[in-house]
Amino acid sequence: MHRKIRKLFFGDENIREYSTISTNAMQYERVEIRSDKITIDVTQQHYLLCLEPLVFGVWFKKGVTVNVNNKIELFFIDKVSGKYLARLSLAYIDTVINDHGALFLLKVEKSKTYHLNFFATYLLYCKFYKKNQLSFQQVKGFASAYSQPRKVSIISFKQDDYYNIFPMDLLGDITTSDLTNYYAFGLRHSNNALSKIIETGRLVISEVSYKQKKQIYSLGSNHQKLPPAVKLLPFNVCLSKKFGFYIPEWVDSYKEVRITKVIDLGSHMLLWGMVEDKQVLNPSAGNLFHIHYLLFLYYKRKGYIYSLV
């Protein structure tokens, strides 16, 4: 990209797909679902669970719902200015129902972004994202989905001599009471631990500090390959209390989850489960989150501050 044009539209920042930040709370975002003249704030209760196609899970407590036969849209909004960041048209797929409410699974059919003007967005696509063999519609979809920070957590699994530890951000933490905590996970079919997790119905999810970013990303290749012997890991591990799975000693806390339902969403498999035990190991210094680069540019121009890590 020509240096002067690049600087005019995107400043001096290195162009990338996602930015990593740390925060303890959503500061600038609001997410609303709208259907049949009904608007519901789902900022804290919507979850990205699949990438191809893009699928969201939206949790509604018992007694609250949307009519899936009507038009359904999801809006990502700058709650400071009220400006739209993204607008998604959704189609109903399925529902996971329990005594406390229901997780509606909704597929993105069309997306529109408002972070930058169309020309700047398309220029960025042609000069950068197109090289990754992504369509313009895919880029807009990913930019929309990551118009709210997505928390990065660590998944642990163990069966006999096999184990795996890897990071992910396609998940949903659904706390319905002090005693009841559900989780939704979106695991890619190519993840070599997926079939074993489904077979045993167990996994452990750990909350991690942004300060461990290097360690977290070093585990990323474990999605598709066998991890090294435990004794060769560059950090110490402990065993989870109930399942006996390996947990990096530097995690803030962990929850042991029993998987009770599995749904194929496309590129990813939805795993739904209930927390059976949870433990706190270290004080939290703030989590690691992903946001799309378009949102980062928008925030920079607005003067909004999130801590880049």
**Whole-angstrom distance, CA of residue 48 vs CA of residue 146:** 9
pLDDT at 11: 54
Closest C-alpha to 247, from 129, 121, 157, 176: 157
Domain ranges of the chain: 3-148+290-308, 150-285
The whole model's pTM is what?
0.92
Select the CATH number that applies to the domain covering 3-148+290-308 from these four: 2.30.110, 1.10.3470, 2.30.30, 2.40.50. 2.30.110
Identical fold between 3-148+290-308 and 150-285: yes
pLDDT at 13: 58
Tokens of 300: 């920079």
Task: State how far the alpha carbon of 99 is from the alpha carbons of 141, 182, 205, 262, in Å.
Answer: 33, 12, 23, 18
- pLDDT tens for the chain, 309 residues long, are 455 445 545 554 567 789 999 987 778 999 999 998 899 999 999 999 999 999 999 999 988 888 888 999 999 999 999 999 999 999 999 999 998 999 999 999 999 999 988 888 888 888 888 877 889 999 999 999 999 999 999 999 999 999 999 999 999 999 877 767 999 999 999 998 999 999 999 999 999 999 999 999 999 887 767 888 899 999 999 999 999 999 999 999 999 999 999 999 999 999 999 999 999 999 988 899 999 999 999 998 898 888 888
Amino acid identity of residue 139, one-letter, is V
Do the beta carbons of residue 77 and residue 86 sit within 8 Å? no
Neighbours of 105 (CB within 10 A): 23
User: What letter does residue 221 receive in the DSSP assignment?
Assistant: G
Q: What's the CATH fold of domain 150-285?
A: Pnp Oxidase; Chain A (2.30.110)
Do the beta carbons of residue 66 and residue 35 sit within 8 Å? yes
